[in-house]
Amino acid sequence: MADDASAAGGPRGPGGSRNGWPRRLLRRLQQRSPRPGLVEDEVLKIMPVQKQTRAGQGTRFKAFVAIGDYNGHVGLGVKRSKEVATAIRGAIILAKLSIVPVWRDCWGNKIGKPHTVPCKVTGHCGSVLVRLIPAPRGTGIVSAPVPKKLLMMAGIDDCFTSARGCTATLGNFAKATFDAISKTYSYLTPDL
């Protein structure tokens, strides 16, 4: 009987579980970096927005979605809708349509894989100004949570950031960061 249970995957069955979690979900949660080549999306924020009409206040939901493959491509989508799910789906579609390539480079010498931005780049939206500064290998992304997610999805491992303006408005903060990331290809060096 015990041999049959162990052959079938243990006493908990073929799927097995630990603390109520199936093994495949545990493995997926334990993966630190996503699988290369797959585009993953992440909802940055869902916020209610209102406009005043003759019938009262019309409430809609605004979704901010970042999408990237963690290997040199990132996109940002913003969509408003009466329902949250519709807003998220629309933002994912717009993010896929706005995917841009990200130029990565090495800091100092050209040993190893590219890991940081090639030069200082600046992006702005509204009053928010975001500056991306190259960093040495092993520094990590020194940034607020919103730009950090976008930079990680773009495949940048090391970067310093500087932000000015009202960074509490997540929409402008994310758009300014995306603008700076997309400007990495606007500056071309002779070695390209």
Q: Which pair of structure tokens corresponds to residue 152?
A: 């990680």
Q: Which domains does the chain have, with CATH numbers?
A: 40-101 (3.30.160.20), 122-186 (3.30.230.10)
Q: Residue written as tokens 């807003």?
A: 87
In the DSSP assignment, the letter for residue 34 is: P
* Cβ–Cβ under 8 Å, residues 49 and 62: yes
Q: What is the mean pLDDT of residues 57-85?
A: 94
* DSSP bridge pairs for 60: 49
- At 104-159, the pLDDT tens digits run 988 888 888 899 999 999 999 999 999 999 999 989 999 999 999 999 999 999 99
- At 31-56, the pLDDT tens digits run 444 555 678 999 999 999 999 989 88
Residues 6+ positions from 98 with CB-CB distance below 8 Å? 75, 76, 77
